Amino acid sequence: MDFTTILVTLLGQLWYFIPLFICIGVFKTPWFKGAMGEWQVNVLIKLFLNKADYTLIKNVRLPTFENGIENGTTQIDHIIVSEFGVFVVETKNMKGWIFGSANQKMWTQKIFKHSSKFQNPLHQNYKHLKTLESCLNINSHALFSVIIFIGDSTFKTKLPENVRFARGGIEYIKSKTERVLSANTKNDIVNTIESGKLKPSFKTNRQHVSHVKTLIEQKQAPKKERSETQICSRCGEKMVLRKAKKGTNIGNTFFGCSAFPKCRNSVEI
């Protein structure tokens, strides 16, 4: 048996493992982790919140405005509307130890000896709240930010009561028992969100992932400080140094998200 025959036989046997390798690669992507986290939260909501009292709206993309001009879109994982308030849920599928506080701009994830920074999800969810407050024209006291962590993670510092793990997020929502909205107002809010929601399409997906102005504090930060940011403010992945290969900025260097093309966040230098 010559070398060519051996090689062909070997490749023929390895062919069966290619789909497995592809699946493993997909499972490790930020997109898959995010999708799995959102799916688990969907299950928790459906199991433990009464549909008669709580209306779930998933994957909402709403237009954002600056000085009255539409300047992009923002995506909200889950909006839960009830007479007890409107709950805006941000999902984090992470593992390891989590360190942070309400006022810290960046939180820390530690897995064994490896530590990495990610954007404070409370700050991330703040823009979602302000967008909804503007769209719905309701008092801020009826809006609640909820951060739900999914995965094998442990909080190692004391976090605000609205940052919970898995079912604890549902318990936080159910702890709000004061009726702050009438039944008619609740229905009006659901209709307003649905009518204002951008229909999922390639265009809206592209608009969302290319929208880099996701944080008010980031826009107000000095240019030098922004250029030194090493963690993506959108998805929490690392930012890497890149050089523009086409367009009007060809040859210029910038920081781009390592999760590209799923996340197209970039920061000028």
In a domain, 246, yes or no: yes
Residue after which a domain boundary falls, among 208, 224, 240: 208
Q: What is the pLDDT of residue 59?
A: 86
- Claim to verify: residue 142 and residue 107 sit in the same structural domain: yes
Q: What is the pLDDT of residue 72?
A: 75
- Claim to verify: residue 141 and residue 41 sit in the same structural domain: yes
pLDDT tens digits, the chain, 269 residues: what are they?
566 776 667 666 665 656 655 555 544 565 555 566 678 888 999 999 999 999 999 988 877 766 666 677 778 989 999 999 999 999 999 999 999 999 999 999 999 989 999 999 999 898 889 888 888 888 889 999 999 999 889 999 999 999 999 899 999 999 999 999 999 999 999 998 888 765 444 445 445 555 544 444 554 454 444 444 467 766 667 788 888 877 666 777 878 888 887 777 777 76
In a domain, 13, yes or no: no
Domain that holds residue 125: 30-208
Residue after which a domain boundary falls, among 208, 230, 248: 208
pTM: 0.63
Q: Which residue type occupies 8?
A: V
- Claim to verify: residue 184 and residue 221 sit in the same structural domain: no
Map residue 89 onto helix, strand or coil.
Answer: strand
- Claim to verify: residue 159 and residue 35 sit in the same structural domain: yes
- Claim to verify: residue 102 and residue 133 sit in the same structural domain: yes
In a domain, 1, yes or no: no
- Claim to verify: residue 173 and residue 258 sit in the same structural domain: no
In a domain, 9, yes or no: no
Q: Where are the alpha helices (DSSP H) in 143-261?
A: 167-174, 183-196, 202-210, 216-220, 223-227
Task: State the DSSP code for 96.
Answer: E
- Claim to verify: residue 165 and residue 39 sit in the same structural domain: yes
What gap in Å lies between CA 30 and CA 237, rounded to an integer?
8
Q: Which residue type occupies 97?
A: W
**What is the CA angle 244-248-254, rounded to 5?**
30
Residue after which a domain boundary falls, among 166, 193, 208: 208
User: Are the C-beta atoms of 112 and 54 separated by less than 8 Å?
Assistant: no
- Claim to verify: residue 63 and residue 192 sit in the same structural domain: yes
What gap in Å lies between CA 259 and CA 256, rounded to an integer?
9
- Claim to verify: residue 244 and residue 113 sit in the same structural domain: no
- Claim to verify: residue 116 and residue 186 sit in the same structural domain: yes
- Claim to verify: residue 95 and residue 203 sit in the same structural domain: yes
Q: What is the pLDDT of residue 197?
A: 62
In a domain, 192, yes or no: yes
Number of domains in the chain: 2
In a domain, 8, yes or no: no
- Claim to verify: residue 171 and residue 245 sit in the same structural domain: no
In a domain, 164, yes or no: yes
